[in-house]
Amino acid sequence: MTENTIEEKINLSTIKNLLENVHVIQNKYDDIADITGEKFNVFSVLNLTSNEVRTHSAFIGELLNIKGSHGLKDIPLQLFIKILEEKFILNQEDESENKIGLDRFKFNTENAITIVEKNIKKLNEDKTEGGRIDIIVEDKNKWNALIIENKIYAGEQENQLIRYYNYCKEYFLKETPILYLTLDGSSPTSGKGLIKKQHYFNISYKEDIINWLELCLKEASDKPMLREVMKQYIYLIKKLTGQTINKKMSEEIQNIILRNFSAAEQIVKEFDKIKYKISGNIRNRITEVLISKLGSKYNVFTRNKVGDTNSGIWLELKDYENTGIYFGIEPFSGKGNVRNELFFGILDLNDKHKNIFQNHNFKCTRWWRDVDFFDNLEDYKNNQINFSDSQFISFLGQNPIKQDELINKIAAQMIEFIQSKEGSLINVCKEINGVNN
């Protein structure tokens, strides 16, 4: 018993020293960042960090555009194709899998046309045709194309990849690769029947886009304004994908971890636990308030584990159960459909009743209606409620009173929203039931 206690004390002391050393290094580089202005990021200032269309598709599409304002002509497009070839063709490991042809990503870059948010057709009834393509780079002669489906936090639409595949078969002579781009390279769910590394390819911001941008950065060495904006965009992606921005700081921290590997491993094991303990407690207490205030009229429940994507709180009118319509708050994990920031709105599950909502003057964004964001604590420097933000979690963890304030503020704002929309939503539900009957 005594030996275990001594051993635990030694381990705790090692962990404490490790954390203190990392804190010293972080403070040093924070001071350097203040002096150099590195913390200023135009995308963050303009609140465009996770907007798929206005930020990420627009930025990537502009770089891939051979006539883009960057002035690099087709060099970024050539480098993008190089990244794809190295990832999928030159590094093919399994000889038994379908071999990817050497010309799969070949492209006449000199006459390429890049379009962002291209409308291809009106959606048909089973949603296997039509819609919009996030980014398409196509050969002028319709020989082939590159299609990029860009996902930051938004969910997939029904049969989304199937629609793109059918479009490619109809309009291009050569089989066109569909690139499914996410933060971490995860796989799609809307491509049932399509084969990975044959019909579609998973790529990530975390590795592929950053590697591509680093190559483009070298080509922009004589274009200082372009170079600095690209650096800021790289910093933004690293932040979204949980990577350290400063390489020197990262190396120093890694060296400390190597000298204290066991202690660092223990910290990793406890990190998510404490993070989700705080956000989970906040979610549970908000749920309790909503049940106490609205439970007579609404079914109030939490959805998904607190650390899962789209973890939230849903409220369903008891008189209109099983309609697929909910008031909702997401994401308490900091991983969600719109962006990291906690938002609220009305959920039309699977986007089934968009026309009815539009007829009742609701603003429709994918599955969500009348989305808005919560007001943050006035004395917290960041204006977002973002449970993936380590500084925000740390602030709440060290300030229980601020947790109480946040809970009361979120609950009050949500109740006000529900009361303001309830009448209109009941009319929508009545119309849905009338259509279903």
Length of the chain: 437
DSSP codes, 290-320 = HHHHHTTTEEEEEES-TTSTT-EEEEEEGGG
Mean local confidence (pLDDT), 167-180:
87
| pLDDT tens digits for range 351-408 | 889 999 999 999 988 889 999 988 776 666 566 788 888 888 888 888 899 899 999 9
| pLDDT at residue number 96 | 46
Q: Which pLDDT band holds residue 338 (cuts at 50, 70, 90)?
A: very low
Q: Is 177 helix (H, G, I), strand (E, B) or coil?
A: coil
How would you label 149-165 residue by residue, b for 16+ Cβ within 10 Å and e otherwise? bbbbbbbebbbbbbbbb
In angstroms, the CA 124 to CA 167 distance is 13
What is the pTM for the complete model shown? 0.61
pLDDT in tens, 66-98: 999 999 999 999 999 999 999 998 877 655 456
Phi and psi at 366, nearest 5°, equal 55, -120
Percent helix, percent strand, percent coil in the chain, to nearest 5: 50, 15, 35
Strands 298-303 and 312-317: antiparallel
> Mean pLDDT throughout 52-67?
89
> Is residue 166's pLDDT more than 80?
yes
Of 220-234, 290-304, 313-327, minimum mean pLDDT range: 220-234
Residue ranges per structural domain of the chain = 2-38+246-259, 52-240, 268-436
Rounded to an integer, what distance in angstroms lies between the CA atom of residue 430 and that of residue 29? 58
| CA angle in degrees (0–180, nearest 5) for 49-83-221 | 70
Q: Where are the beta strands (DSSP E) in 32-162?
A: 112-121, 131-139, 145-150
pLDDT of 279 higher than 90: yes
**pLDDT category, 255, cuts 50, 70, 90?**
confident
Ranking 99-108, 203-212, 416-425 by mean pLDDT, the lowest is 99-108
Q: Are strands 312-317 and 178-182 parallel, antiparallel or unpaired?
A: unpaired
**Element of type H or E holding 248:** helix 247-259
The token duo for 37 is 């202005």
The number of beta carbons lying within 10 Å of the beta carbon of residue 88 is: 17
Residue 299's CB is within 10 A of a number of other CB atoms, namely: 14
Which of the pair, 66 or 337, is modelled with greater confidence? 66
Q: How confident is the model at residue 286 (pLDDT cuts 50, 70, 90)?
A: very high
Q: Select, from the ranges 267-271, 363-367, 409-413, the one with the highest average predicted confidence (pLDDT).
A: 409-413
pLDDT above 90: residue 108: no
Answer whether 105's CB lies under 8 Å from 77's CB. no
Mean pLDDT is lowest, of 114-123, 152-161, 387-396, for: 152-161
